[in-house]
């Protein structure tokens, strides 16, 4: 048993060293001539990294009456205007102004909520959207990263998505028919990147889309049949013309019939649809077969560029399509980068203080409990390494309070180990006494941790980014502490 326990201790120490190297160093591999880390970077909050602040105001739409007046002044020499006609125009202008719908507070609030949903769909963390209900002024703050400029480039779009007939411009499908949109990227063996998008329609939209795919076919088979029939008709006409050269009138009639048939064939060939955003055509297409699963698959482009700008643009487009159209047209009036109010040296000082406290606790453990204290210190390092890895893979946004939460989690874990070492410091305990003592220790620690865990969960649902960071960090710190210590108890005791 003693030999097995020693082997378990050695195994645990080696595992802690390996996990610590991965957490504090990383796992690097060569990717297209450069070294990339498989461990994700820390997600830093706006108070540490800075953020982008964008101001949106209601766009001033050009009044159609003004354009009519400008046209009238240009053509003043050609038209004779009388006082009666001017009075009539003024009356009609006043009536048209009265007919224009007024923008109310609810439209401003709805616009702000749609912007929030778009940012959520883009998985933007730590953002805020505030709206002045009186003026409609909207202020959006988002973290500064590689996607920021791409996200902001489409903020001014109302997001009216339509599928129309290419000729009649009849609306066949809109945003209301879309359930969700998925975006992906395929990398071929040659290194080319293909960005694709799949639009999933809801139940009503699926039925509409099926009818659209049935109506707007390529008609390849029909075209070939029409061509064959035209050739046969032309051959028969040539024979008749050779036999009856005198019948000029029949020849003219046959030509007229051929021209009418060609026009009909052109009409059948020209059945296509257009995909539009804010009445701007994205692409024109038709269908080879009837699609009844309610999924429209599109290829947005292929490139050999290593950047993800095209992919980010596709995500932006997806967030616009699967949400409602903005009830109010907005335009960007301000776009500024706000740097962090905390200097880098202050952040480093905070981290160094926490590291110093952690080392002091380990040193006290070693002085008081000797070999057991040294093993506990190694386990402390392993716990911190595991916590940092989990925070990176779960994309927890670290703020100043989040960094403080890491230190509090370390102190909470230290309380458990202090209780354990103090309870088991006596030698000569039997296995039953040890098991009983460990259950008491774990129960006591659980009673201490549960209130902290409840507070952390409450903070996880707050809208304040600082408290959210604190709550998420504390939540993972407490959960990992409980699981980590229970697992080690089974291995070492």
pLDDT tens-digit readout, 160-219: 999 998 888 888 999 999 999 999 888 776 767 888 889 999 999 999 999 999 888 765
Q: What is the CA radius of gyration of the chain?
A: 35
Q: Residues 381, 374: contact at Cβ < 8 Å?
A: no
pLDDT tens digits, 420-465: 887 776 656 676 777 787 788 888 888 888 999 999 999 988 878 8
Instruction: Report pTM.
Output: 0.66
Among candidates 223, 213, 196, 325, which has minimal Cα distance to 273?
A: 213
Mean pLDDT over 219-229 rounds to 46
Among candidates 177, 159, 149, 59, which has minimal Cα distance to 118?
A: 159
pLDDT tens digits, 80-118: 444 444 454 555 444 444 444 566 788 899 999 999 999
Asked whether residue 489 carries a pLDDT value surpassing 60, the answer given is yes
Tell me the CA distances in angstroms from 360 to 282, 326, 378, one per residue in order: 63, 57, 13
Instruction: Print burial letters for 334-373: b (CB count within 10 Å at least 16), e (below 16).
Output: eeeeeebeeeeeebeeeeeebeeebeebbeebbeebeebb
Mean pLDDT over 257-265 rounds to 49
Higher-pLDDT residue of 80 and 343 is: 343
Strand pairing category for 43-44 and 397-398? parallel
pLDDT value, residue 68: 45
Asked whether residue 263 carries a pLDDT value surpassing 50, the answer given is no
The helix/strand/coil state of 183 is strand
What percentage of the chain carries pLDDT values higher than 90? Answer: 21
Dihedral sign computed on CA atoms, order 468, 470, 474, 477: positive
Torsion of the alpha carbons at 245, 247, 248 and 253, rounded to the nearest 10? -120
The helix/strand/coil state of 246 is coil
Gap between the Cα atoms of 81 and 330, Å rounded: 38
Distance of CA 203 to the CA centre of its chain: 24
Confidence band for 32, pLDDT divided at 50, 70 and 90: low
pLDDT value, residue 233: 52
Tell me the CA distances in angstroms from 371 to 194, 377, 428, one per residue in order: 58, 10, 17
Which range of 80-94, 377-391, 409-423 scores highest in mean pLDDT? It is 377-391
Q: What is the largest CA-CA distance in the chain?
A: 128
Q: Residues 209, 291: contact at Cβ < 8 Å?
A: yes
């Amino acid at each position: 048993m003693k030999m097995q326990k020693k082997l378990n201790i050695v195994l645990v120490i080696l595992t802690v060293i390996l996990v610590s190297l991965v957490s504090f160093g990383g796992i690097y591999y060569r990717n297209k001539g450069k070294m990339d880390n498989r461990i994700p970077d820390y997600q830093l909050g706006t108070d540490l990294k800075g953020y982008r602040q964008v101001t949106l105001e209601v766009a001033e739409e050009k009044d159609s009456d003004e354009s009519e007046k400008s046209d009238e002044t240009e053509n003043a020499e050609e038209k004779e205007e009388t006082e009666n006609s001017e009075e009539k125009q003024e009356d009609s202008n006043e009536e048209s102004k009265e007919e224009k719908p007024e923008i109310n507070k609810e439209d401003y609030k709805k616009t702000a909520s749609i912007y929030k949903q778009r940012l959520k769909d883009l998985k933007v963390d730590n953002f805020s959207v505030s709206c002045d209900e009186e003026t409609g002024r909207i202020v959006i703050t988002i973290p500064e990263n590689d996607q920021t400029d791409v996200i902001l480039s489409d903020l001014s779009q109302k997001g009216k998505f339509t599928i129309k007939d290419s000729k009649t411009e009849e609306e066949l499908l809109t945003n209301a028919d879309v359930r969700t949109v998925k975006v992906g990227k395929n990398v071929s063996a040659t290194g080319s990147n293909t960005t694709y998008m799949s639009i999933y329609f809801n139940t009503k939209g699926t039925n509409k889309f099926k009818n659209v795919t049935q109506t707007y076919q390529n008609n390849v088979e029909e075209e070939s049949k029409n061509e064959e029939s035209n050739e046969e008709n032309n051959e028969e006409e040539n024979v008749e013309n050779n036999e009856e050269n005198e019948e000029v009138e029949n020849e003219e009639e046959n030509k007229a019939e051929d021209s009418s048939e060609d026009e009909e064939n052109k009409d059948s060939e020209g059945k296509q649809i257009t995909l539009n955003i804010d009445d701007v055509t994205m692409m024109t297409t038709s269908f080879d077969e009837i699609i009844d699963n309610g999924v429209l698959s599109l290829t947005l482009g292929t490139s050999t560029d290593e950047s993800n700008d095209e992919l980010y643009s596709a995500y932006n487009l997806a967030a616009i399509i699967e949400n409602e159209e903005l009830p109010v047209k907005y335009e960007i009036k301000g776009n500024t980068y706000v740097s962090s109010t905390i200097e880098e040296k202050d952040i480093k000082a905070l981290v160094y203080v926490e590291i110093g406290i952690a080392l002091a606790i380990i040193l006290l453990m070693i002085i008081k409990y000797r070999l057991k204290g040294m093993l506990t210190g190694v386990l402390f390092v392993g716990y911190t390494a595991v916590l940092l890895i989990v925070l990176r893979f779960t994309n927890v946004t670290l703020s100043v309070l989040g960094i403080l939460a890491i230190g509090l989690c370390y102190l909470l874990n230290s309380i458990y180990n202090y209780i354990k070492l103090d309870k088991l410091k006596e030698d000569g305990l039997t296995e039953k006494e040890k098991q009983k003592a460990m259950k008491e220790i774990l129960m006591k620690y659980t009673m201490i941790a549960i209130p902290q865990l409840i507070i952390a969960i409450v903070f996880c649902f707050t809208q304040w980014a600082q408290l959210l960071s604190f709550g998420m960090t504390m939540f993972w710190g407490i959960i990992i502490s409980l699981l980590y210590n229970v697992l080690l108890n089974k291995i070492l005791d």
